[in-house]
Amino acid sequence: QGSQKRSNSTPETPRPKRALSSRSPYGLFSPGSFSPSVTPSQKYSSRGGRGEVVASFGTAQGPAWSGRGGCAVKLFGCPEENLTKPYKFMFQKALDVREALAGRVEELGEVLRRHHGLDGFSSAALPAQEPVTVLGQISCDGNGKLNAKSVLLVGDLEHSGGAQVPLDLSELPEYSLFPGQVVALEGTNSTGRRMVVSKLYEV
């Protein structure tokens, strides 16, 4: 009698997998075990009973909606800020989005300046031996999570031209930041490459 050789499993000749037993827990908790028993779907070209309800939940069938009187829509605010014609959502140009975000940063920066009584903002990209106050948005230096070593400040367009500066937060006793947050910072940037933050202004 010849010795029986074990069948080798290769990508070209895979070994047949054993079927799941009827007592497998996967079969007990599969979506099919909880779903109502409906007729399996057929091919699209040979389907029948179009629009037929095969399963329903609850007793409300076809609630009737009715209203009385008319209503009129009135636009408030400046005409240039209201939509007067249809437009495609999320089809804005990148430059328009940038301008809108820059305007929002300037508005929040003015709120921060008045709230904390700040004199004004300086550029975040220029070297500064003395403490300066800058305005910008919190960002991350990569796709990972925001941590103490990956915090960037994207300066505002008016003062910093959108320059990105890494932040050193070691001198702050406590802070809580998130990407996209508009903040005003006070610190020194002796080399122009990293700002050591001494104060954090936020509303």
Domains in the chain, number: 1
117 closest CA partner among 182, 187, 201: 201
Q: Is residue 193 part of a domain?
A: yes
Q: 116-148 as b/e, with b when 16 or more CB fall inside 10 Å?
A: eeeeebbbbbeebeeebbbbbbbbbeeeeebee
Dump strand ranges (E) for 47-177.
128-140, 151-155, 164-168
Q: What are the distances in angstroms from CA 34 to CA 28, 30, 59, 93, 136?
A: 9, 7, 20, 47, 53
What is the model's pLDDT at position 167?
93
Q: Helix, strand, or coil here: 17?
A: coil
25 membership: H or E segment, kind and range = helix 25-28
pLDDT in tens, 33-65: 666 665 665 666 677 777 777 777 666 666 666
Domain annotation covers residue 48: no
Bridge partners (DSSP) listed for residue 187: 132, 197
Q: Say which CATH number the domain at 111 has.
A: 2.40.50.430
169 lies in a domain? Answer: yes
Q: Does the pLDDT of residue 135 top 90, yes or no?
A: yes
From residue 67, how far is each of 29, 37, 62, 64, 74 by CA, in Å?
Answer: 46, 39, 16, 10, 20
Residue positions counted in the chain: 203
Give the pair of three-digit tokens for residue 177. Answer: 């930041």
Q: How far apart are CA 83 and CA 63, in angstroms?
A: 34
Measured between alpha carbons, how far is 93 from 85 in angstroms, rounded to an integer? 17
Task: For residue 57, tell me if it sits in a domain.
Answer: no
pLDDT of residue 100: 86
* 103 found inside a domain: yes
pLDDT > 60? residue 1: no
Provide the domain limits for residue 98. 80-202
In a domain, 46, yes or no: no
Domain assignment present for 42: no
Tell me what pLDDT residue 187 has.
93
Q: Quick one: average pLDDT of 131-139?
A: 93
Q: Residue 166: which of 202, 125, 132 has the closest Cα? A: 125
| Residue 116 or 15, more confident | 116
User: Is 196 domain-assigned?
Assistant: yes
